[in-house]
Chain A
Amino acid sequence: MFKNFTGLQWKSFFRSSSFGKSLGIKIFMGFMAVYLAVSLIMSGIGAYFALKKIFPESGPFQIINRFLIYYFCLELFIRYFMQKLPVMDIKPFLILPIKKSSITHYILSRSAVSFYNFLSLFFFLPFCGVLLYKGFPVLNILGWLLGIIAIVLTINYINFLVNKSDKILIVVATIIGVFYALEYFDLVPITEYLGALFYRLYEQPYLVIIPIGLAIFVYWLNYEFLRTKLFLDATLENKTKEAQTSEMAWTRRFGKIAPFLQLDLKLIWRNKRTKTQVFISLAMILYGLIFYTMKDFGPTSAMLVFVGIFMTGIFLMNFGQFIPAWDSEYYGMMMSQNIPLRDYLESKAGLIYVSVVVMFLLSIPYVYFGWEALAINFACALYNLGVNVPVILFFGSMNKKRIDLAKSAMGNMQGASAAQFLVGIPLFGLPMILFVLISWLGSFQMAITFLALLGILGFAIRKPILDSITKIYAKKKYGMIAGFKEKNS
């Protein structure tokens, strides 16, 4: 049975129309993976010696144990945003003579061999190698390593629970928050306790059954959770919410783009995925705090340009990069209707303009970190308006992948995958390079002014730019229609 499922997964990947595109991304990801693996192996080997140098008084192994919990939290955090549960479209299988339990087991065990799980092995295997070389007892190290692997798997499965249910997310976040607070206010030295716990794994290797038991328990939780979802009505039950209609008469003043603007606002507000993105975008205004509170960057670092572009343009990226795939479900209708494509795009652009302005207004308090912060954010907002909006609309014309807005709980919630970060290169890279170059040749003020001017220029000539982008969309129409029709790619 597992072999059959694997075969189907393989086919759905190789036979999808976006195969060309996702292969490109896969190759890029492949490079990144190799790079990551090599650097992890190197640091796994080097960690022992480095730690010995930094903390000469205590053993490197103890230090590692103490930091393990931070590592695991970080891993859970990264997984939450990056990793998706491999879901097949299970509907056709439900009526076939396949046990539901084997469908569930397949979905779950497939995730056990995911890239993320190997990531930590790349570090811990060489690290254990060094320990053995240094004369640590084999059996104890083996027990410890097994324990780590079991915990990594536990995190793997916890992540799915967290991803599927907001309640569990809140529970997990609260636990981590409480632990952090206890540690921070010196109430209970949590990391020390946990470090000691991990060390016990080494001292008494038979204790490995505890993390293994934990992994099995979380697997079982996932199994129960998924297994009950393998019904048609389980995925349908929470669908029929009472419709809220609104006139949105205020959009009238935008003239001919008004109907599209209304449609877009309804699109965003009435679909879970787009709605979450609005909240994520608003929350991301805090992102800058990480950088501004770090002393390593001066007030004029290029990193802050990145932060500025990111904060004022987060909605631009999240929403913009999937234009026009948001409308993929009914793109055929749109294209057979009497729709001026330009108005359609203009409405999307207008929405993004508003988001950039709102995000800039929200970022004004950063002036607390000096006038440079305000200047950078303002310049970045202008740059986003003038340059990045057309850039993202242009990249949108390459979208061929359908987005199922009404996707049920079985589908993934995030949808943000590596592709999102690929688009980021021109969006972030260009302004950062320009900034570095000009502030090196001239001054900070000049660089900031240049970015702002570039934005103003782009905004001033937005009409002809939009015209030519419209032409590209018109030309790619047939490919988009065909691609958007393809479900489950």
Chain B
Amino acid sequence: MVHIENLTKKYGSKLVLNIQELNIPKGQSFGLVGNNGAGKTTLFSLLLDLIQPSTGHISNNEVRVDQSEEWKTFTSSFIDESFLIGYLTPEEYFYFIGELRNRNKADVNALLAQYKDFFHGEILGQKKYLRDLSKGNQKKAGIVASFIGDPEVVILDEPFANLDPSTQIRLKGIIKDLAARQGVTVLVSSHDLIHVTEVCERIVVLNKGEVVKDIETSTETLRELEAYFSENIAVAAASVENI
């Protein structure tokens, strides 16, 4: 579904992303982990054509994202709160997104009904504008908005951050369901290793813009990831001692 080739992104002389090749097949739930500055958000921004690659390109379902806008019809995303329109109520926002994705009110309402549990009665019918909702509730609205219009690719940057524990658990169920039953390609980034290993079939670890691990999730994965990230700390500590 998603095909990345020779992709690099430089800011000045600093290389922040360098991926030789990466393929994400249709219907895969794909997890991206890495420390801050590893290039997770950069990769997602490139995927959404919000920034320009320095070299290489990304194809989304055979569409080159930097050349055509066709990918927008089947791709949806929630990166951060800047994806929300603050002066709309959640309902208005959902309908607006629905409109852009050719879904009428009834369609949107039908979809929202499925996420009643997820909203936990804090989103719909609150008579509040999105800008007045708490961070967590804003996130809920943004995530659900990205499910409108039956997208084939869903991109969620740090979806678990700021959510309360119950909502995190519900979200995990939703993401698994999307990939397994509806054949949606889900791309998720997270700092929480437990969440990604639970949700994703495949996990890619980025470090300083490069793919350092590409794992099919198994029962061993969590330990492997934890080992990798603590090793990093050990290496850093060792190099400090050497000085």
Contact = CB atoms under 8 A, between A and B. Distances in A.
B50 A481 contact: yes
B79 interface: yes
Contacts of B72: 336-339
Contact of A329 (B86, B127, B129): B86
Shortest 3 CB-CB distances between A and B: which pairs? A333-B83, A259-B99, A270-B87
B132 A239 contact: yes
Contacts, number: 84
A88 interface: no
A485 B50 CA distance: 11
A335 B82 contact: no
Given A267-B87, A336-B48, A338-B72, 17 more contacts: A243-B128, A243-B129, A245-B91, A259-B99, A262-B96, A332-B48, A332-B79, A333-B82, A333-B83, A333-B85, A338-B73, A339-B72, A406-B131, A478-B50, A478-B51, A478-B52, A485-B82
Interface string A238-281: 01101101000000000000110011001100110000000000
A336 B50 contact: yes
A240 B132 contact: yes
Interface string B71-97: 011011101001111111101100011
A297 interface: no
B92 A329 contact: no
B26 interface: no
A332 B78 CA distance: 10
A96 to B, nearest CB: 23
Majority SS at the chain A contact face: helix
A369 B84 CA distance: 50
Interface in A214-243: 239-240, 242-243
Best-surrounded residue of A259, A329, A336 (most CB of chain B within 10 A): A336
A277 B72 CA distance: 34
A184 interface: no
Interface in B93-127: 96-97, 99-101, 126-127
Interface of B: 48-52, 69, 72-73, 75-77, 79, 82-89, 91-92, 96-97, 99-101, 126-129, 131-132
14 contacts: A239-B132, A259-B96, A262-B96, A266-B87, A270-B129, A330-B83, A330-B84, A332-B48, A332-B79, A332-B83, A336-B77, A337-B72, A339-B72, A478-B50
A338 B132 CA distance: 26
A63 B129 CA distance: 57
A405 interface: yes
Interface in A335-366: 335-339
A482 interface: yes
Contacts of A270: 87, 129
Given A240-B128, A240-B132, A263 B51 contact: no
Interface in A292-341: 329-333, 335-339
B87 A271 contact: yes
Best-surrounded residue of A239, A243, A271 (most CB of chain B within 10 A): A243
Given A330-B84, A330-B85, A478-B52, A339 B100 contact: yes
A41 B8 CA distance: 59
Interface residues of A, number: 29
Contact of A242 (B50, B52, B69, B127): B127
Interface string A429-470: 000000000000000000000000000000000000000000
Interface in A398-419: 405-406
A282 to B, nearest CB: 21
Contacts of A336: 48-50, 72, 75, 77, 79, 83
Given A267-B87, A270-B87, A332 B92 contact: no
Nearest to B131: A406
B128 A259 contact: no
B172 to A, nearest CB: 24
Nearest to A404: B86
A243 B89 contact: yes
Contacts of A243: 89, 126-129, 132
Interface string A365-390: 00000000000000000000000000
B129 A338 contact: no
Contacts of A330: 82-86
Interface string A471-489: 0000000100110010000
Given A243-B129, A332-B79, A485-B82, A405 B87 contact: yes
B136 to A, nearest CB: 16
A329 B85 CA distance: 7
Nearest to A268: B87
A245 B92 contact: yes
Nearest to A242: B127
Best-surrounded residue of A242, A330, A332, A337 (most CB of chain B within 10 A): A337
Contacts of A406: 86-87, 131
A162 to B, nearest CB: 27
Contacts of A478: 50-52
A338 B68 CA distance: 12
B50 A332 contact: yes
B128 A266 contact: no
Contacts of A338: 69, 72-73, 100-101
Contact of A263 (B49, B69, B96): B96
